[in-house]
């Protein structure tokens, strides 16, 4: 008798404060979760400890696990903290300084002491190579191969670079010079990691393309070592399956692809939360959703429409001012379009002595020392500490009772650092922290909705993350969102996102043309080339070739405009007969974004994109996947006083989330506790439990 195929999968999300894990075993119809503090000095320690513990709790061996899907903040942290490799750059003669000149714009017009983002490659590590190609892809000056060899030798042997980026002018149209330069360097230094701009970001706009190639090279050695160590460590505990990695665009890819293009992982953790919200939206039949993921370090919001999150194809990393657009390094990569705010459970509260006002974030206590209540050495109050003072958290049931919180230590910290300086009571100070962090998130979310021309009142909020359900209802009220959904296992929902994300990749190729003059045979050839590469990558990730779906699109604008918008295309094989449909798709998207159309100005396409997607694993979240449950009355295990901004101190019923069955219904105020999070339900609110054990919060 043959042994059944291994089907169990584990999703692992390494956050700034906690590492979250979700195990799904379809053979047993089992979903099991875990959460433990992140180990910043080596994230793999918490990953391995969490996996071993998770498997022990369900009585499973590592050899029975089919695959592990992982997301990490390592790439983002390396760029923010400038802990990546020493990188060299080969650029076209005359263009070595393009990454420093940038766009020549100021992200703050009125700051006379403006600090620009420092390039990842200092000037002394940039070399000019004689070569030149026109914007149409015609050779103007042949590649000086001797200059490539001399420059590589200087950078490696004299300057000690650890990785090399190659970015020549117009290589998105004619990549042969970059490829030949790479061949020369590899022949001399086979082990040197290389990043070619024509492979990393084959798109128009030389500054952004060069910046992306340099960033890829900057994190390539770091991610290569990390993934190698992680694979070895997993093998040592007996794991025999495959390790996959989450992409910033919400798909999953192979370890080998992640090593070659690690910059595509920069938002892999936050993307998982958006994918989890998309899965939950489809499961619940919701078309318009705002995903609200509030963890220990940041809060992330994302619009999910039609069961899929919004995407964009540019990103800024390592901002000088974290939430100031234009102050970072531009990257041309596919990412889930979300806003990120320095408002997490670990966000630090302090009094601005100059202004005499209370401020919260964006700095965070992280996993170490963590909030004051953790007892890990933190001395400055955080949002989590404020939630404890307000009665929202049970000091004896944090992480299901594994971590005992210290309320007295928190009260002393609030008194010393905030209350005494503002002349307020401790509880009023904590309430101020809560209101500031919620208003900060609401203001950023309103702006995000406004930029997209959306009305938040017609959306449902899906709240998750360790701190998300604690703050969700008040935030929803500020945004005039009437319905909040809190999933089962909300505190680790991002890790679930790894398991419901499909194997996927985004291909792009720039080819600038006006629509009425387009050479459709050339464009179809671009799509054929991208499809071949995309399908090959998904086959490596274990996808069935019969199930791979390819979705073409293009980035278009009116001639003369400086920015473009994404437009879906009707087919992979286009012709002049498709022009009316393409024009109408452009006008429809343009109208949605800007509220008007300009039909007498020609349209041009800049870049052609192809999203290749295979079906995600099917995860069933029916009642049998969770622990036994009962009626709401049986789930009630006491009361606790909570301070609400608009209602003062109120006695709240405390409910055990694991004992709430589908169909249960009761009124707030209430606290619904599970191991990884607490859902705070205000007065005048009705809570119901749907068939998937989601909590639904609505006005009474």
678: which 2 tokens? Answer: 């607490």
Q: 105 with 186, same domain?
A: yes
pLDDT in the model for residue 320: 80
More confident residue, 527 or 270: 527
- Please indicate, yes or no, whether residues 607 and 649 belong to a single structural domain of this protein: no
Higher pLDDT residue, 139 or 198? 198
pLDDT of residue 435: 94
The pLDDT of 622-640, averaged and rounded, is 65
The verdict on residue 461 lying in a domain is no
Banded pLDDT at 6 (limits 50, 70, 90): low
Asked whether the beta carbons of 388 and 395 are under 8 A apart, the reply is yes
Q: What are phi and psi of 351, to 5 degrees?
A: -100, 125
Choose one of 578, 613, 648: the last residue of a domain: 613
Strand-pair partners of 24: 9, 31
pLDDT (average), residues 326-350: 89
Looking at the predicted structure, is the pLDDT value of residue 633 above 70?
A: no
- 377 dihedral zone (left: phi>0; alpha: psi -120 to 50; beta): left
Count of Cβ atoms closer than 10 Å to residue 73 Cβ? 22
Is the pLDDT score of 537 beyond 50? Answer: yes
Which residues have a Cβ under 8 Å from the Cβ of 391 and sit 6 or more positions away?
640, 641, 642, 643, 649, 652
Residue 324 belongs to a domain: no
Alpha-carbon gap, residue 429 to 432, rounded angstroms: 5
Stretch 267-291: mean pLDDT: 92
Last residue of a domain, one of 585, 613, 641: 613
pLDDT tens digits for 282-298?
Answer: 999 999 999 999 988 88
Do both 605 and 659 map to the same domain?
A: no
* pLDDT tops 70 at residue 267: yes
Average pLDDT over residues 467-486: 95
Same domain, 69 and 115: no
- Domain interval for residue 252: 8-78+225-265
Q: Are residues 101 and 186 in the same domain?
A: yes
Instruction: For residues 74 and 79, give the distance between their C-alpha atoms in angstroms, rounded to a whole number.
Output: 9
Cβ-proximal residues to 521 (8 Å cutoff; 6+ apart), any chain:
none
The total number of structural domains in the chain stands at 4
Question: Residue 158 falls within a domain, yes or no?
Answer: yes
Q: Are 569 and 536 in contact (CB under 8 A)?
A: no
Burial (CB count within 10 angstroms: exposed 0-12, middle 13-18, buried 19+), residue 7: middle
- State the residue for tokens 């993934």: 227
- 197 and 254 housed in the same domain: no
Give the chain's end-to-end CA distance (angstroms, integer): 57
What distances in angstroms separate CA 536 from CA 70, 259, 355, 543, one per listed residue? 21, 17, 58, 10
How far apart, in Å, are the Cα atoms of 71 and each of 9, 34, 50, 497, 617? 14, 15, 14, 10, 17
- Distance of CA 368 to CAs 298, 402, 421, 430, Å? 15, 17, 26, 22
Q: What is the pLDDT of residues 370-421, one digit of tens each?
A: 899 999 888 999 999 999 999 999 999 888 888 899 999 999 999 999 999 9
- Reported as a single tens digit per residue, the pLDDT across 443-455 is 989 988 888 888 9
Q: Would you say residue 693 lies in a domain?
A: yes
In terms of domains, do 89 and 196 share one? yes
Last residue of a domain, which of 180, 196, 218? 218
E strand residue ranges, 188-298? 194-196, 242-246, 252-254, 288-294
Q: What's residue 33's pLDDT?
A: 87
Same domain, 171 and 248: no
Q: Of 26-35, 219-228, 468-477, 523-532, which gets the smallest average pLDDT? A: 26-35
**Rounded to an integer, what distance in angstroms lies between the CA atom of residue 185 and that of residue 179?**
10
In angstroms, rounded to a whole number, what is the distance separating the alpha carbons of residues 556 and 500? 31
Q: What Å distances lie between residue 210 and 45, 300, 316, 402, CA to CA?
A: 35, 28, 14, 48
State the residue for tokens 């370890």: 255
Asked whether residue 297 is domain-assigned, the answer is: no
Helix (H) or strand (E) holding 623: none
pLDDT of 351 > 70? The answer is: yes
pLDDT of residue 3: 41
Stated pTM of the model: 0.88
What secondary structure letter does DSSP report for 187? Answer: H
The DSSP bridge partners found for residue 12 are 21, 70
The DSSP bridge partners found for residue 358 are 351
42 Cβ neighbours under 8 A, 6+ residues apart: none
Regarding whether 59 and 96 lie in a shared domain, the answer is no
């Amino acid at each position: 008798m043959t042994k059944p195929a291994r089907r169990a999968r584990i999703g692992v999300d390494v956050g700034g404060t906690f590492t979250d894990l979700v195990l799904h075993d379809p053979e047993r119809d089992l979903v099991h979760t875990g959460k433990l503090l992140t180990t910043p000095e080596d994230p793999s320690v918490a990953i391995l400890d969490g996996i071993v513990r998770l498997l022990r709790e369900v009585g499973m061996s590592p050899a029975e696990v089919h695959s592990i899907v992982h997301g990490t903040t390592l790439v983002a942290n390396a760029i923010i903290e400038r802990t990546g490799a020493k990188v060299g750059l080969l650029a076209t003669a005359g263009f070595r300084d393009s990454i420093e000149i940038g766009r020549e714009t100021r992200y703050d017009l009125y700051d006379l002491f403006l600090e620009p983002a420092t390039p990842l490659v200092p000037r002394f590590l940039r070399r000019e190579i004689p070569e030149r190609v026109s914007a149409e892809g015609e050779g103007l000056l042949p590649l000086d191969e001797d200059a490539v060899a001399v420059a590589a030798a200087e950078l490696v042997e004299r300057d000690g670079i650890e990785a090399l980026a190659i970015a020549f002018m117009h290589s998105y149209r004619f990549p042969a010079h970059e490829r030949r330069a790479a061949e020369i360097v590899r022949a001399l230094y086979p082990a040197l990691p290389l990043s070619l701009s024509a492979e990393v970001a084959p798109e128009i706009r030389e500054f952004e393309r060069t910046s992306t190639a340099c960033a890829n090279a900057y994190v390539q050695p770091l991610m290569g070592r990390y993934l190698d160590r992680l694979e070895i460590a997993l093998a040592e505990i007996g794991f025999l399956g495959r390790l996959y990695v989450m992409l910033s665009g919400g798909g999953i890819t192979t370890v080998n692809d992640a090593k070659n293009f690690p910059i595509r992982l920069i938002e892999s953790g936050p993307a998982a939360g958006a994918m989890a919200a998309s899965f939950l939206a489809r499961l619940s039949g919701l078309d318009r959703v705002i995903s609200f993921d509030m963890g220990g370090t940041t809060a992330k919001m994302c619009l999910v429409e039609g069961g899929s999150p919004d995407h964009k194809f540019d990103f800024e990393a390592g901002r000088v001012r974290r939430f100031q657009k234009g102050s970072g390094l531009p990257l041309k990569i596919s990412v889930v379009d979300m806003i990120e705010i320095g408002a997490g459970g670990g966000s630090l509260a302090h009094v601005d002595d100059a202004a005499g006002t209370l401020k919260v974030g964006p700095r965070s206590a992280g996993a170490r020392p963590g909030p004051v209540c953790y007892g890990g050495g933190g001395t400055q109050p955080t949002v989590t500490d404020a939630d404890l003072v307000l009665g929202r958290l049970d000091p004896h049931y944090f992480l299901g009772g594994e971590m005992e919180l210290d309320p007295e230590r928190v009260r002393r910290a609030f008194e010393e650092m905030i209350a005494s300086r503002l002349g307020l009571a401790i509880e009023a100070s904590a309430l101020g922290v809560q209101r500031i962090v919620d208003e900060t998130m609401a203001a950023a979310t309103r702006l995000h909705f406004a930029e997209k021309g959306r009305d938040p009142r017609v959306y449902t909020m899906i709240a998750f993350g360790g701190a998300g359900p604690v703050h969700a209802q008040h935030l929803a009220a500020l945004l005039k969102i009437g319905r909040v959904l809190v999933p089962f296992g909300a505190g680790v929902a991002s890790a679930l996102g790894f398991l419901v994300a499909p194997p996927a990749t985004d291909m792009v190729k720039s080819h600038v043309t006006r629509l009425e003059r387009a050479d459709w045979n050339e464009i179809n050839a671009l799509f054929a080339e991208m499809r071949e590469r995309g399908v090959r990558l998904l086959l490596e990730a274990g996808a069935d070739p019969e199930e791979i779906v390819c979705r073409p699109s293009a980035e278009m604008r009116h001639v003369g405009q400086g920015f473009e918008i994404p437009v879906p295309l009707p087919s992979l094989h286009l012709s002049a007969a498709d022009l009316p449909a393409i024009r109408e798709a452009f006008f429809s998207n343009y109208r949605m974004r800007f509220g008007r159309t300009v039909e007498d100005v020609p349209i041009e396409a800049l870049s052609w994109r192809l999203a290749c997607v295979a079906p995600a694993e099917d995860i069933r979240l029916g009642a049998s996947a969770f622990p036994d449950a009962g009626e709401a009355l049986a789930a009630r295990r006491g009361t606790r006083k909570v301070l609400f901004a608009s209602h003062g101190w109120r006695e709240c019923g405390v409910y055990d989330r694991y004992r709430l069955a589908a169909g249960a219904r009761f009124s707030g105020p209430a606290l619904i506790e599970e191991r990884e999070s607490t859902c705070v339900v205000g007065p005048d609110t009705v809570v119901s439990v749907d068939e998937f054990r989601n909590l639904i919060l609505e006005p009474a």
